[in-house]
Amino acid sequence: MATTLSPLAPASFPTLPPIAGVRIATANSGIRYKGRDDLLLAVLDPGTSVAGVLTRSLTCSAPVIWCRDSLPKGSARAVVVNAGNANAFTGKAGDATVQATVSAAAEVAGCAPDEVYIASTGVIGIPLAADAIGKCLAPMAPSLAADSAAWEKAARAIMTTDTFPKGSVRTARIGGTTVTIAGFAKGSGMIAPDMATMLGFVFTDAAIAATALQDMLSEFTERTFNAITVDGDTSTSDTLLLFATGKAGNAPVSSADAAELAEFRAALEDLLLDLALQVVRDGEGATKFIAITVRGADSDAAAKRIGMTVANSPLVKTAVAGEDANWGRIVAAIGRAGERADRDLIRITVGGTLICAEGMEVPGYDETPVTAHMKGKEVDIDIDLGLGKGTAKVWTCDLTHGYIDINGSYRS
């Protein structure tokens, strides 16, 4: 695990309050890491509903397949997450590990196997013993806790190359009842989600049906976790799960569009965006956080595709790393995004300074303020295509030698 704290890290892990109906324990499994917890067990009260978004990778992990098959039931009682081994591309051995893990967790929680959700992150292609995770779960049961300290332990236990744990909390009112949403995530490299982030787990005490949770999570993921990228690589293990224990006492809500969910919807999307941006701020080797706004595209989808093309451009990202105001690389990325663009209508602004318009560099352009802006830790790029009403915002980080150092030695 990386030891040098990202220069973009928040000052501290937030204080996450207990969520009624959620108990958490962590332990060291011995699978890969020494001297740190790398296994998480959460037990949820009966009646907990669940929603999820999962990687669309065709080489996804065995845990992803299990979660995908279980989600239609909409009920959850336990969550098991390990770090250090992704249990991906491990064939029938991987399936056996999942089965043994699920059986052990179901025994602890006193539930059906398909009410257990699992996720794994780490090295791909190394089979685990069937009981490598399952044998650890029963001994963890006595330490299950609902206190605030458990959240940070959980966030740290699922880290791999992350340099800091990522957590967030929000409150909202549903009717006359205050509800809480708390969650944590991990992710640092292999970040170009096609569903969610690498791993993310969000819990609320609200009473909301699984179908409504799913509608909200799917919608908000597109503007949060699916709008970030570190390196353009989608993981085999990407999993984002949302659980609602129903313990807050609000009148149960069955529709994502219900008027009484307006405040909750805003709070949930804000929390998801907070976690997603923390992942970007912990990008492997990152020294700069880049926000890219695209407007004037043919559609929102076109704007997002252009924004992600710019965000994933190694040339743009290395220019930012080198504090080089080479705006021609942005132009090139726009042109190859596969969406309509007109040279003479494009306007590019960096750090508030208009650089090009009407098909060329603006007369009298002074690079000095742009260079000064790029020397900071936060870089803002604004692209106006001048074609339509499509807009999108995406986030990424720079690409440095640190990324190569981390990934060149990840298995050693």
Show pLDDT as tens, one digit a residue, over the chain (412 residues). 446 999 999 999 999 999 999 999 999 999 999 999 999 999 999 999 999 999 999 999 999 999 999 999 999 999 999 999 999 999 999 999 999 999 999 999 999 999 999 999 999 999 999 999 999 999 999 999 999 999 999 999 999 989 999 999 999 999 999 999 999 999 886 666 554 448 999 999 999 999 999 999 999 999 999 999 988 888 899 999 999 999 999 999 999 999 999 999 999 999 999 999 999 999 888 999 999 999 999 999 999 999 999 999 999 999 999 999 999 999 999 999 999 999 999 999 999 999 999 999 999 999 999 999 999 999 999 999 999 999 999 999 999 988 888 777 666 5
Assigned domain for 17 exists: no
Are 89 and 187 in a shared domain?
A: yes
Sheet hosting strand 199-204, strand order edge to edge? 49-54, 239-244, 199-204, 177-186, 166-174
Shared domain check, 319 and 258:
no
Give me the pLDDT at residue 197, please.
47
Is residue 3 in some structural domain?
A: no
Query: What residue has token string 């990407």?
Result: 238
Q: Is 178 annotated as a binding residue?
A: no
Q: Do 260 and 293 fall within a single domain?
A: no
pLDDT score, position 198: 80
Q: Let me know: does 128 contact 31? Beta carbons within 8 Å.
A: yes
Cα separation, 205 vs 249, whole angstroms: 8
* Contact present, 164 and 281 (Cβ < 8 Å): no
Q: Is 4 inside a domain boundary?
A: no
Is 304 marked as a binding-site residue? no
**Strand 360-361, strand 22-27: pairing:** unpaired
State the amino acid at position 190 in one-letter form: M
CATH, residue 39: 3.60.70.12
CA distance 262 to 268: 10
Q: Which of 282, 311, 333 marks a domain boundary? A: 282
Pair 35, 74 in one domain? yes
> Is residue 102 a part of any domain in this protein?
yes
> In DSSP terms, which residues pair with 369 in a beta bridge?
none
CB within 8 Å of 11: residues ≥ 6 apart: none
Split into its structural domains, the chain has a count of 2
Nearest to 258 by CA among 382, 172, 145, 144: 172
Measured N-to-C along each axis, helices 262-281 and 210-223 cross at an angle, to the nearest 10 degrees, of 50
Q: Do 262 and 309 fall into the same domain?
A: no
Residue 10 lies in a domain: no
Last residue of a domain, one of 215, 250, 282: 282
> Residue 80 in contact with residue 29, Cβ under 8 Å?
no
pLDDT for the residue 194: 58
CA distance 230 to 190: 7
Is residue 233 domain-resident? yes
For residue 177, say whether it is annotated as part of any ligand binding site: no
Report the alpha-carbon distance of residue 167 to residue 394 in Å, rounded.
20
Q: Give me the active site residues, please.
A: 197
Q: Could you tell me if 197 and 230 lie in one domain?
A: yes
CATH of the domain at 334: 3.10.20.340
Residues 269, 305 share a domain: no
State the Cα–Cα distance between residues 69 and 16, nearest whole angstrom.
Answer: 30
Are 207 and 147 within one domain?
Answer: yes
The answer to whether 250 is a known ligand-binding residue is no
Domain enclosing residue 97, as ranges: 22-282
In one-letter notation, the amino acid at residue 297 is A
Whether residues 260 and 358 share a domain: the answer is: no
52 with 168, same domain: the answer is yes
Q: Is 284 annotated as a binding residue?
A: yes
Q: Is 349 annotated as a binding residue?
A: no
12 assigned to some structural domain: no
Distance between CA atoms of residues 155 and 166, nearest Å: 6
246 with 309, same domain?
A: no
Same domain, 173 and 213: yes
- Which of 282, 298, 325 is the last residue in one of the domains? 282
Is 319 a member of any domain? yes
